[in-house]
Structure 1
Amino acid sequence: MASLNLPISAESLASLTSLVVDYTGGDSRLGRRVRLGAAFTLVALALRIVASGRPKRSAVQRDLRKVGKVVGEAESEDNFDEYDVVIVGGGTAGCVLASRLSENRDLRVLLLEAGDSAVKDPLVRIPSAFTLMLGTAKVFNLFTTLQQNTGGRRHFWPRAKMLGGCSSINALIFHYGDPADYDEWARLGGEGAETWAYKDFHKYFLKFEKFVPSKAHPQVVANEHGVNGPIEVGFHGNHAANTQRFIDACSRAGIPRLADLNTPRGSLGVAKVLTYIDSRGRRVTTESAYLTPAVLSRPNLKVAVGATATRLIFDTTGPSPRAVGVEFASFKHSARFRVRAKKEVILAYILMLSGVGPEAHLAEHKIPVVAPLSGVGEHLMDHPVVNVAVAETTGTSLNFLKSKTTWHQIQRAYAYLIYYLTGKGPLTTNVAEAAAFFRSTDPVLFPPNAAVPPAPTEDSTSGPHAPDLEFFVSPMAFNGNTSHRPTSLGNILLKSSDPFEHPAINPNYISTEHDLAVLERGMSVLTRVMYTSPLADVIDHTAADVRLGHWLPTAKPTELRTYVRNYLETLYHPTSTARMAPLSDGGVVDAQLKVHGVRGLRVVDASIFPTIVSGHTAGPTIAVAEKASDMILQDLAASGRLA
């Protein structure tokens, strides 16, 4: 029996204790017993963690005076701490870059992150616990502007404020996307973008993967996966009985059954998802995988946390501006610090705040223009999702993980004990345990003359065998119907020149008839799956609660359309606001991820996607960072700037 060692902070222990012992029936005898049992479990967990010791993380620096110089205190404007490469943002991509670039001991690398380390946080490492961080200071709790096509609602857009970024708070689905997505990138990316085609880019997925085979899934071809990378992936995690029923029902409804959604053959089909969960039941993030104690002990790497970048510093004396440094601070009214970058600045945001963006928008906020780039902040793409909840009759759902009843509290405490002892059980659910990808024009699912919503008038897929729809199933009360090739485009703009003010986010959801038609087609298949055995056998079709989706199979077209608008949410996959494309097409970066018209500056994250992938975005973002690291090192070596 293997126990679980998770480093834990006092704050995180308090959060975890609150999760287990809240809502236990007040001062009743049963409530006191539940609290006592939960407390013993948590104390044992904490003692085990303390006894195991904490890893030394010498490169993580919270005193910003040991990282840069305070603006105004330097002896001259040029007297600042100097690094070869400064990476702005320690998110999903930033941790990869810091680790890979610092492998070259001749490069001094600084990583700036606004949040803190999350490697000691059980709310991060326990797969199902990430939702408890939403609304807290560990997350940028962003909201969209009012969306006129979704009933005038604002949509919650959480972004992780911690090392590892959104790899620390996502649903842990490991997915490449479709091979045709990257061939499309090669077509859209401009001169030199042919290396982004799947046949070349695929190696970067293999580079970061450490695939662990499963005896329960023997049909997966292991040699189609990477085995030596830092990120452990596999079929670890909960597999609810209703998850398997969903897979079987999709197969009977006409969606092919697959062993693996991540192969050169594409992802059209239904399968249990691979997860970013390791063999001990812990979430794998880019911080835990790439910023290991060994990496953080490198003398040429420094990681500054609690460091919000406020603007880039440019040298404008040459033929084109050159990024030469970064200014940052702990919070809005704290001292500003500066560092100089000898070779490159790599970032995920703050272009507009630094004067790189649409001229009129910068002028509106009195920001001096360094480089006029109309595409910055534009072409925002996101995956919309329509959730459908149904009542099931087996009593095996995992709703007790979020319920407030006394009985569910007892179940939750027991689940924590199982997790502590074995690293298994309900707490290892990734929330979306299985997925099905298909096309809205599939003749098997949409036969001629069938009573289904009209087909979209255009094909938004990246290829003839690529999907534009996805289902996923959750053991916690909903099925999701996702449009994976939306045509609606939005933008992200500044509200002011204050770097601590959240931006104005307008995804412009379902602003095209195409997107609404695709989602309606998806809903028709989803309701068909709900009424297909064996899933249909465990659904309470008599449930009358209007918030549930049991009435949808008989809904009128106008009712279905209204439901889509009223229940649409985000799948948290924003991309393409600094997309790789020619300048003439509104692109922000070239095929080397260099910002058009600015020297020494690259963007590396999901914002560079030329167009959104037809799948989940964490894996592609990590692969982008792996490729970017290679390109940067090759460029520095070719120019003689690397020893």
Structure 2
Amino acid sequence: MIHTDVFAKLLGVLEAIQARSATPTRLSLGAAASVVALTIVLRYLTAKQPKLITDYAKVARKVNDNGAEVDEWDFIIVGGGTAGCVLASRLSEDPNLRVLLIEAGGSSKDIGISKIPVAFAKLMRTQWDYNFYTEPQQHAGNKKKYWPRAKLLGGCSAMNAMMAQYGAPSDFDEWALISGDQSWSWNNFSKYIRKFEKYTPDSRFPHVDPLLRGANGPVEIKYSPHIWPGAQAFVEASINVGIPFSPDFCTTKGTKGTNKAMMYIDSKSTRVTTESAYLTDDVLARPNLKVVTHARVSKVLFDISDGTPRATGVEFASKSHMDKVGPEFRARATKEVIVCGGTIHSPQILMLSGIGPAAQLSRHNIPIVLDAPSVGANLMDHPSVNLRFREKTGTTFHHLTPHSLNSTRLLIRDLLRYKLWGTGPLASNVGESVAFFRSDDQALFPPAEYNNNLEDANSGPDAPDIEIIMCAGAVRAHTIPLGPKFQAYQMIVILLRPTSKGSLFLKSADPWDDPLMDPSYLETKHDVDVLVRGIRAAIKIAHTAPMTSVTDVDAIHHPELDHHISSLSDAELADIVRDRVETLYHPVGTCSMGAGGVVDSELRVKGTQGLRVCDASVFPKLVSGHPTGAVIATAEKLADIIKAHYA
């Protein structure tokens, strides 16, 4: 370990360099490099020892320790994802409740790139990603589709694009109708959104009413300090084609429309996750909360002596870098087990525990605890299609993947801007502006030109079913840049209310085997038709002022670009949809609420005692937008339900 006086000298050097950078004198390249290097060293030296547990004997007992007393907890939370971190923090606020949180991954606080907004895709296809692939999609070219899901505390809030938009109010009214419980309606549920929010007003966006937003919650929300000129041009062009300006997507005033997107970032433009917001050092210091990492729960344990299965605990283990599974540990829950594994792992854990479709459990020789046919059913996702256009102003984020001496110089400049002031392209999530609209909007799709026989799959008349995200760069297959030859931007066309539904199945009884995921993309004609309309709208926006100053129309014949598609027929666009469709990373529904679902309106697994599920898998329908906020609010709501029950 480095000596204290050496540390002090390093700190003094960094402070001197940073002080000099505050003057009008521009930093030299060498000084910039020194700042970055010293910052990395100091960050390592000042990092506090983690309060996370990998010695499982501190919280549980080995399964084969005959006669050993099993550690008891009031609540065991299975999965430290977006919802799990919220519940662990809120439930442990009561010092009389002992809470154990078990997470398969580690902390995102240790991963520098996870904190930088523009770098979110750098976590994909890494050890921090489950790297799922779907089953071959019968209606989408028979291709397997890549599904990134974060293997980290905070879950996908640590890896997504940080879009702070929650859907339409009528989405939650629909949940209330399906669940038979008005506490899920927008008027009642939205208080939990305001509870977690800490919105920072921005003078550049005076249309946002701070009185309608939360101000004291743990999750910071604000606009990025960086605005790419193309993002502003997109908003203005969207207005010019007939999409209204939205003052705030997150209130009843602005569900449909176009504007910049708010982000889950703090005052330093650092990503905010549910780990960073809810599992602070003070929270982790609570003696009644323990957080286990790098451990996978293999099953929930039950007592079935009185006929109704009661959850009594869990078994879990870890896997070494050599792919060797370690010993199984067992922990007991005296009150409840709450499964927060996400849309993929929550149904898998239930089925491995004996709760699921009886035929499927029998196929894998899993003892049936409860025949629950809905477990793994109702799988829904937001399908998307990427469109790429050449950009002629030279202002995209092309240089952030350096390919020349000049682009490397620009990258170093922007790294320094971000480190010192939290500004520049690194403070952006790439997709800075968005548009939400309906496929039956006659201003965009005149009846004389478009067939209006599309099924209305929306939750209400003010809910959109199409979203377009404008991106300051273009990639292939989620993460692969187009290359150094030219600058390009990308529009992501998203179907918000698909009518296609899929299922999730077990591959085997081995908890380390990924389940089989089949979202059944584009099974219905409706889904293809709406995406085709979304593409038509994107083309119109790309060729409407002021986007005409951004789009290079002379690149019409480039094979990696889409300038030519404006001349294609609907049938040809439908072929493009089937060929290119990908996930927008929003799977939901595999443990859904509702009369025919898995959980009731208080998220209790039907037919059991002491077992709940809390994550996006309980959503009975997709929200018309981005689900992270709805997941956080759902966890806040459940925390209140549980506290009231055990008060």
Pairwise same-fold verdict (TM > 0.5): yes
CA distance in 2 between counterparts of 1:602 and 1:358 reads 18
Say which SS state the counterpart of residue 174 (structure 1) adopts: coil
Which residue is equivalent to 2:34?
40
Match status 1:342 vs 2:355: no
Contact 2:300/2:311, CA 8 A, preserved across alignment: yes
Which residue is equivalent to 2:572?
559
Match status 1:202 vs 2:214: no
- Alpha-carbon deviations, 1:25-54, whole Å to 9, x = none? xxxxxxxx98x7885343122134246x23
CA distance in 2 between counterparts of 1:496 and 1:286 reads 32
CA distance in 2 between counterparts of 1:137 and 1:95 reads 21
CA distance in 1 between counterparts of 2:245 and 2:624 reads 18
Which residue is equivalent to 2:419?
420
- Alpha-carbon deviations, 1:342-364, whole Å to 9, x = none? 00000031111111100001111
* Structure 1 stretch displaced more, 38-47 or 277-286: 38-47
Contact 1:206/1:225, CA 8 A, preserved across alignment: yes
Contact 2:402/2:411, CA 8 A, preserved across alignment: no
Aligned-partner residue type, residue 65 of structure 1: A
Match of 1:485 among 484, 497, 504: 497
Match status 1:91 vs 2:73: no
Which residue is equivalent to 2:360?
361
Which residue is equivalent to 1:280?
268
- Alpha-carbon deviations, 1:559-597, whole Å to 9, x = none? 211111112111000001000011xx2x00000100000
Match status 1:519 vs 2:526: no
Contact 2:440/2:454, CA 8 A, preserved across alignment: no
Contact 1:56/1:293, CA 8 A, preserved across alignment: no
How far the C-alpha of 1:403 sits from its partner, in A, is 4.7
CA distance in 2 between counterparts of 1:68 and 1:472 reads 46
Contact 1:322/1:598, CA 8 A, preserved across alignment: yes
Which residue is equivalent to 2:460?
463
- Alpha-carbon deviations, 1:191-210, whole Å to 9, x = none? xx211000000000000000
* Structure 1 stretch displaced more, 41-50 or 161-170: 41-50
How far the C-alpha of 1:74 sits from its partner, in A, is 3.8
Aligned-partner residue type, residue 87 of structure 1: I
Aligned-partner residue type, residue 135 of structure 1: R
- Alpha-carbon deviations, 1:210-231, whole Å to 9, x = none? 0000011111100000000000
Which residue is equivalent to 1:398?
397
How far the C-alpha of 1:269 sits from its partner, in A, is 0.2
Say which SS state the counterpart of residue 351 (structure 1) adopts: helix
Which residue is equivalent to 1:599?
609
Aligned-partner residue type, residue 573 of structure 2: L
Aligned-partner residue type, residue 500 of structure 1: W
Which residue is equivalent to 1:616?
626
How far the C-alpha of 1:278 sits from its partner, in A, is 0.9
Which residue is equivalent to 1:242?
230
Aligned-partner residue type, residue 49 of structure 1: R
Which residue is equivalent to 1:408?
407
CA distance in 1 between counterparts of 2:227 and 2:147 reads 28
- Alpha-carbon deviations, 1:600-639, whole Å to 9, x = none? 00000000001111110100000000001011111122xx
Match of 1:63 among 46, 55, 68: 55
Which residue is equivalent to 2:470?
473
CA distance in 2 between counterparts of 1:495 and 1:456 reads 40
CA distance in 2 between counterparts of 1:37 and 1:147 reads 52
Which residue is equivalent to 2:438?
439
**Cα pair distance change 1:258/1:457, threshold 3 Å:** closer
How far the C-alpha of 1:57 sits from its partner, in A, is 4.2
Which residue is equivalent to 2:284?
296
Aligned-partner residue type, residue 499 of structure 1: P
Which residue is equivalent to 2:242?
254
Which residue is equivalent to 1:383?
382
* Structure 1 stretch displaced more, 148-157 or 356-365: 148-157
Q: Which runs of 5+ in 1 are unaligned?
A: 1-32, 638-643
CA distance in 2 between counterparts of 1:405 and 1:496 reads 48
CA distance in 1 between counterparts of 2:551 and 2:112 reads 34
CA distance in 1 between counterparts of 2:253 and 2:617 reads 26
How far the C-alpha of 1:319 sits from its partner, in A, is 2.6
User: Identity of paired residues, percent?
Assistant: 44
Which residue is equivalent to 1:174?
164
Which residue is equivalent to 2:64?
72
- Alpha-carbon deviations, 1:240-270, whole Å to 9, x = none? 0000000000000000011211112341000
Match of 2:295 among 307, 310, 314: 307
Contact 1:580/1:591, CA 8 A, preserved across alignment: yes
CA distance in 1 between counterparts of 2:102 and 2:642 reads 18
Say which SS state the counterpart of residue 631 (structure 2) adopts: helix
Contact 1:55/1:293, CA 8 A, preserved across alignment: no
Match status 1:225 vs 2:218: no
Match status 1:504 vs 2:516: yes
CA distance in 1 between counterparts of 2:220 and 2:525 reads 40
Aligned length: 593
CA-based RMSD of the aligned residues comes to 1.5
Contact 1:236/1:279, CA 8 A, preserved across alignment: no
How far the C-alpha of 1:164 sits from its partner, in A, is 0.4
CA distance in 2 between counterparts of 1:63 and 1:401 reads 40
Match of 1:628 among 629, 635, 638: 638
Contact 1:488/1:511, CA 8 A, preserved across alignment: yes
